[in-house]
Every structure is written in C-alpha cells, then in structure tokens.
Amino acid sequence: MADRILTLTLNPTVDIAAYAEAVRPVRKIRTRDETFDPGGGGVNVSRVLRELGGETLAIILAGGVSGRFLEELLDEGGVPRRSVPIAGRTRISHTVHDLSAGQEYRFVPEGPEIRESECAAAFAAMEEEAGGWLVASGSLPRGVASDFYARAARAAAQRGRRFVLDTSGAALKAALGHGLALIKPSRGEFEALIGRPLPSPEEQRQAALALAREGAAELVAVTLGHEGALLAGREGTLRLPALDVPVQGAVGAGDSFLAAMVLALSRGEPPHEAFAWGMAAGAAAVMSAGTAHPRRSDVEALRQRIGEVPPLSEGG
C-alpha cells in the first residue's frame, strides 16, 4: 500500500456539463450533450491517477441523494473510494458552454455545512488508510476550521507520509510550513497568498522561490493558464510554456496537472520531470469536454512533445 496515493475531498460535487447555443438572461436556456462526472479536487485527482495507471483511494464526504449519485459515478468509473457520511447534501455544480460566444460559464455552489463529528470522521478515515502520499484538494466546506489541512499535514508528517495540498485562502496560508511536499496554486490564488499582484514572470519566479526557500513547501507549482506554469524548489525554478492544443473545456485541468505530477514524484522522478508530466496532463485535460478527462495516450504523446526538460536552476 506504500505506492497508493490517497486523496481527500471534503467538499466534493456532482459536475454537470452541457452545451447551449447562447446564454442569455431571463430566457429559458436549452442545453444538450450533458455529461455527469464525480468532481471536487481530490476526486478529480483520483480519477486521473487511475487513468494514468496509478493506485489510489478517494476519501470523500457524501450526503443525501446527490451524495449517492456521486458514489455511483465513482463506482461506475472504477475509482476506489471510502465515503464518510454527512447529514447535508453533496453539492451539484453546473458548467455551460456558450457556443455562440465561445465562453464557458461555471456555477459552483458553496456546499453543505459539516458538523464537527463529520469532520473528525474524515480525519480518522485519512489516518486509518494506508498510502505513501496524501493529496488534499479543494475548498473547505462550511463548518470546517481553517487549520484542518495544517493539522492533516502535521499528522501525515508524523507517519512519514508525503502531503500535497491544492487549496486557497486561509486554509492554504495556515498549512504553509507544516511539512508540505507540494502546493499548486493558480496564479490568482498565488497572488492572494503573496498579498500583491505579480504581473511579471520575474516577480512570480522570485515569490515562488522565496516560498520554497522559506520552507513553506518543498515544491511550489503555480499554474498560469495560457502562460504555462512555474515550478520552484530550494534549488531554483523552472518555467514551461503552455502546450498549443485544441480546447474543449478547462474544468479539472489543474487537478489533472496535479495528479500526473504527484504520480511521477511517487515513482521517484525528479521534480522537473514530474513537472513536465503535469504540463502534459493539464493540456490533455483541456482537449476533452467534461471534468478531468485526460486520456493516457494523449498525456504520453504530449509528454513526448515537450521533450527534454532542464532541472530547476537559479535562472529558471
């Protein structure tokens, strides 16, 4: 079980995606080609890990009929799970692609409020399951203290487990410096964490490098959308441009990036190689509609396209 990668999703969702000819106010919007996916950060990571050949277990909070639907979707997809029951109903998110404008609209509810006993049960489940890596991803639902991920990181460190965090705001800030192997903020989340805009690549590089060298996390991966991504560690930094691929949807691209990067790290790949695999998986994800649907063959082909990647360096 040491090779197994656990994921923790405290605020999962059923993701519905559909197409509409046009999104306009007041009028009834007819949609078509609906897809239903199990979603939420850690859930997406587990789904992609399984697609890429990794061993995983998704730990989720699930409640109500929507929670049962989430479990059904995971089971249909062959994703191993451990559900922690909650009294509230699992949220349902909706993404609509406006074909006339070429825009994507995402509607994401805040989700249920979690009781203290349910939060404790989730923590216990995380502790009871075996796995060498633990990826905690997604927002904290209402009722969960902002230091939850910090406590989870400390508990993981005590067991010699590698802890990866993909969240934002107070929850991310509270966890810094508590033994994090990797954090993966988006550009907006990164700027909010630093507390100021970072318009230039050099400002982004310096800020990420400072975080890594201060011990906030061993590795800091900042996804920059169409500008690519930035990786920082104590040894230096590395920036890679975004791959030019046809875009069908962006939901779950960051989770796909994270899944591939963690899988490579868990297999002993150096950070720069793991970063390249993350870039390939993120690009593969946007090539497919729905939530986090990169195909393994696409990921492998895109990784070949990236070619040789240099290690982290002072001028990276």
In tens, the pLDDT along 100-150 reads 999 989 999 999 999 999 999 999 999 999 999 999 999 999 999 999 999
Asked whether the predicted pLDDT for residue 1 surpasses 70, the reply is: no
How many Cβ atoms are within 10 Å of 1's Cβ, its own excluded? 10
| pLDDT tens per residue, range 179-214 | 999 999 999 999 999 999 999 999 999 999 999 999
pLDDT reported for residue 277? 98
What average pLDDT does range 22-31 have in this prediction?
A: 93
Residue 229 banded pLDDT, cuts 50, 70, 90: very high
Residue type, position 140, single letter: L
pLDDT class for 252, splitting at 50, 70, 90? confident
Question: What is the identity of the amino acid at 253?
Answer: A
pLDDT of residue 54: 97
Residue 251 has pLDDT above 90, yes or no: no
For the segment 13-39, the average pLDDT, to the nearest whole number, is 94
DSSP state of 144: S
Residue 76 — very low, low, confident or very high, per pLDDT cuts 50/70/90?
very high
Quote the tokens at residue 178.
């508590």
- C-alpha to C-alpha distance for 104 and 82, rounded to whole angstroms: 32
Per-residue tokens: 162: 């590698």
Distance from C-alpha of 265 to C-alpha of 253, rounded to nearest angstrom: 18
Indicate the helix (H) or strand (E) that contains 6: strand 5-9
Question: pLDDT tens digits for 29-57?
Answer: 999 999 999 999 999 999 999 999 999 99
pLDDT given for residue 156 in this prediction: 96
Are 61 and 8 in contact, with CB atoms under 8 Å apart? no
CA–centroid distance for 154 within its chain: 20
The pLDDT tens digits for 148-185 are: 999 999 999 999 999 999 999 999 999 999 999 999 99
- Is residue 279 within 8 A of residue 240, CB to CB? The reply is yes
d(CA 92, CA 76): 18
Which of helix, strand or coil describes residue 204?
Answer: helix
Domains of the chain: 5-306 (3.40.1190.20)
Residue 82 pairs with which residues in a beta bridge?
Answer: 59
- 171 and 152 Cβ atoms separated by less than 8 Å: no
Q: How far apart are CA 291 and CA 82, in angstroms?
A: 21
**Residues with a known catalytic role:** 255
Structure tokens at 29: 């919007």
State the pLDDT at residue 291. Answer: 80
Rg of the Cα atoms in the chain:
19
pLDDT digits (tens, 9 = 90+) for 258-287: 999 999 999 999 999 999 999 999 999 999
- Look up tokens 């067991």; give the residue: 159
C-alpha to C-alpha distance for 230 and 190, rounded to whole angstroms: 11
Q: Which of 88, 86, 69, 67 is nearest to 77 (CA)?
A: 69
